[in-house]
Amino acid sequence: MLKKLLTQLAFFLHSSKPYNRVKKIVSDFLLNSDYIYKKYFDIFMILLIISSVAILVYEVKHPVAPWVDFFDIYVVTTIFTLEYLARIWVHNSWHNEVVREYGDVKFLNKKFCLWSPTKRVLLDKLSYMASPTAIIDLLAILPAYRPLRVLRIFVLFRVFKLLRYTKSINQFLGVLGSKKFELYTLLFLLLFITVTAGIAIYVFEEKSNDSINSLFDALYWALITISTVGYGDISPVTPEGRVVSMLIIITGIAMISFVTSVIVSSFSEKLTELKENRLVEEINKEEDFMIICGYGQMTRMFLRHYEHEYAKRYIIIEKDKERVEEAIKEGYRAIQEDASRHDVIAKFNTDYAQVTLLAMTNSDVANIYITLNAKAISRNIRVISRASSERIAKKSRLAGADSVVMPSLIANRMLFTAITQPVMYKAVYAILTGQHLAQLDEVNTVYHQKIVGKSIKELRLKEQKLLSIGYESCKNRTFVFNPSLDYVIEEGDILLLMGRQMSINHFKETYKEIGYVHT
């Protein structure tokens, strides 16, 4: 009976949209570094930790107000407890495991055993609870238990919790982790020399030196000396002991230099990677950003004119090291990666941010591959691809490109217009290059609600030195060119106006009112 109920509960949870949505949100806040609101949660937790430690330090010499105690014992601890439980909750999904097992068992016509998936999930959760970070989380809750004063020192574990919320400390540990072998070797060497020197000084001076009464004293002296700290509370008195001192001082200096060089070299090796990761992390926090694949003449020209508009909301991905260096030298945000690789594009936050990808390499084949790669990762990525001919443009569209740019075709058309219609060329050139004299701009009813329900005539465009060129209909997104003055603008329409930037800005300001965005 209980088994049936629990199985039903698992199926219910598995199909429950609200439950899964809540779990996803909690998981994003706790674990997803690409989630744009996670940083606020992290900052909040860091502030809690700092306040808790500050209270601990303050109350060593001063009495604290009852509300401060209440805050420290109940508020901070409750939040930490909830966080600890939430982390265990989102670590894995019991219902998913049950549903999966149930499906497999039914497929094989075997008897379903609820305990088997439940045990797996519990063991997995226990294994998480035994992990160092989870233990730190648990120990950080203990200081709330006041009868045992000694537990107050566990507040320091709250400091360790900072590791969860600060990337730089994690990165530092990550870099040290990459030199694990060298550091372990040095540690063993240090232990070996310390123990050997400790035993030697114990043997030589136990009888003649009043400060050395046990092997522990000798080992303590050896460690203090080899680390070059040298408190001076214990010092050798026999010539043999002094020789040992000299030897371990020299060894200590050599070891410190060695450790420093290992850490510095590992940092310099990882520096580029760290910088690139930081760039990706930074851009993933944006709500909309642009990935530019390839740093050639086209990208250069695009950024030269429009970089200021995108500020930090773009990243260049280029395979060629020299080109990346050139881009960085120019002050652009570039990383050396291959944009046609799945993992390279997948590390961008395509779930929450509006991502535009420009496939701008010199190779048509590469651009098509990059387009396919991006679209395979997420259909939401908007791709603008470069193509050298109409045939390639067709293939790019088939690959999923939302728009295709053909530099030679555009230039040919401009040349043709310049020859056949020279007056018009000037007008078109001004419009295309967005000169102040004539801008062709869009007025979206979503952001300019006040124009909804008004006829074009009522907008008095002529008085504002504006021209109505047409509108994109909300109904079927078709473009209606040169509409009648009696046309009444509907919600969702996009009005296309021409005029000086000043006139357009004034018009937009007049009718600005944000409405609901229909999806």
Binding of residue 469 to another protein (CB under 8 A)? yes
Place of tokens 């594009």: 345
Cβ proximity to another protein: between 333 and 386 the closer is 386
Binding of residue 354 to another protein (CB under 8 A)? no
The continuous run of DSSP H or E covering 435 comes out as: none
Cβ proximity to another protein: between 191 and 485 the closer is 485
* β pairing state of 382-386 and 354-359: parallel
User: DSSP H helical segments within 77-228, as ranges?
Assistant: 77-91, 94-107, 115-129, 132-139, 155-165, 167-177, 180-205, 215-226
Cβ proximity to another protein: between 42 and 286 the closer is 286
Separation between Cα atoms, residue 128 and residue 131, nearest integer Å: 5
Span of 19-27, 91-99, 219-227, 469-477 interacting with another protein by CB under 8 A: 469-477
| 80 within 8 A of 137, measured Cβ to Cβ | yes
| 394 within 8 A of 371, measured Cβ to Cβ | no
- Of these, 172, 472, 491, 508, which contacts another protein (CB under 8 A)? 472
Span of 90-98, 99-107, 261-269, 406-414 interacting with another protein by CB under 8 A: 406-414
* 420 to 459: interface string for another protein, x by CB under 8 A: xxxxxxxxx-xxxxx--xx-xxx-----------------
CB of 428 vs another protein, minimal distance in Å: 7
Place of tokens 């473009």: 479
Which residues within the stretch 298-317 sit at the binding site for another protein (CB under 8 A)? 298, 300-302, 304-306, 309
CB of 284 vs another protein, minimal distance in Å: 20
Sorted by sequence, the CB contacts under 8 Å of residue 474 that are 6+ apart come out as: 445, 490, 491, 492, 493
Binding of residue 488 to another protein (CB under 8 A)? no
Which residues within the stretch 368-397 sit at the binding site for another protein (CB under 8 A)? 384, 386, 388-389
Separation between Cα atoms, residue 225 and residue 248, nearest integer Å: 7
Cβ proximity to another protein: between 76 and 392 the closer is 392
Binding of residue 90 to another protein (CB under 8 A)? no
> E-strand spans in 274-369?
288-293, 314-318, 334-336, 354-359
Number of residues in contact with another protein under rule CB under 8 A: 68
Which residues within the stretch 268-297 sit at the binding site for another protein (CB under 8 A)? 290, 297
CB of 373 vs another protein, minimal distance in Å: 19
Tell me the CA distances in angstroms from 62 to 50, 55, 72, 92, one per residue in order. 18, 10, 15, 44
Longest dimension (CA), the chain: 111
Binding of residue 417 to another protein (CB under 8 A)? yes
Span of 70-78, 243-251, 255-263, 463-471 interacting with another protein by CB under 8 A: 463-471
Strand order in the sheet with 494-499: 439-444, 494-499, 466-472, 479-481
CB of 141 vs another protein, minimal distance in Å: 49
Binding of residue 470 to another protein (CB under 8 A)? yes
Binding of residue 416 to another protein (CB under 8 A)? yes
| 34 within 8 A of 346, measured Cβ to Cβ | no
The helix/strand/coil state of 383 is: strand
CB of 425 vs another protein, minimal distance in Å: 7
Cβ proximity to another protein: between 125 and 500 the closer is 500
CB of 519 vs another protein, minimal distance in Å: 17
Cβ proximity to another protein: between 3 and 394 the closer is 394
Binding of residue 198 to another protein (CB under 8 A)? no
- Name the packing angle between helices 167-177 and 155-165 (round to 10°): 80
| 361 within 8 A of 367, measured Cβ to Cβ | yes
Task: Write the single-letter amino acid at 157.
Answer: F
Span of 70-78, 121-129, 241-249, 491-499 interacting with another protein by CB under 8 A: 491-499
CB of 481 vs another protein, minimal distance in Å: 6
Separation between Cα atoms, residue 206 and residue 210, nearest integer Å: 8
Which among 459, 448, 314 is positioned nearest to 384, based on CA atoms? 314
Span of 194-202, 211-219, 342-350, 493-501 interacting with another protein by CB under 8 A: 493-501
Place of tokens 């652009």: 332
Summarize as ranges the residues that interact with another protein (CB under 8 A): 290, 297-298, 300-302, 304-306, 309, 356, 358, 384, 386, 388-389, 403, 405, 407-428, 430-434, 437-438, 440-442, 462, 465-467, 469-470, 472, 479, 481-482, 484-485, 494, 496, 498-500, 503
